[in-house]
Amino acid sequence: MATALEIAGQLRDAFPEVISAPTEFRGEATLVVLDAGRIADVCLHARDVLGFDMLLDLASVDNYGEDPRWTVVYELLGLGHGQHLRLKTSVTEEKGEVPTVSSVWRTADWHEREVYDMMGIRFAGHPDLRRILMWDGYPYHPLRKDFPLAGKETSLPEVAFTRPAPLEGGPFVTVASTADSIAREPRARTPEA
Q: What confidence tens digit (pLDDT) does each residue in 88-126 have?
A: 999 999 999 999 999 999 999 999 999 999 999 999 999
Q: What value does the mean pLDDT of the chain take?
A: 86
Kindly report, residue by residue over 157-167, the tens digit of the pLDDT.
565 555 555 44
CA distance 70 to 144: 10
- Beta partners for 91? 70
Residues 6 or more apart in contact with residue 65 via CB below 8 angstroms: none
> Do residues 50 and 10 touch, judged by C-beta distance below 8 A?
yes
CA distance 86 to 151: 32
Res 132 pLDDT > 70: yes
Res 67 pLDDT > 50: yes
Residues 6 or more apart in contact with residue 92 via CB below 8 angstroms: 67, 68, 69
Pair type for strands 28-33 and 23-25: antiparallel
CA distance 116 to 126: 11
Identify the structural domains of the chain with CATH numbers, from first to last. 4-136 (3.30.460.80), 148-193 (no CATH)
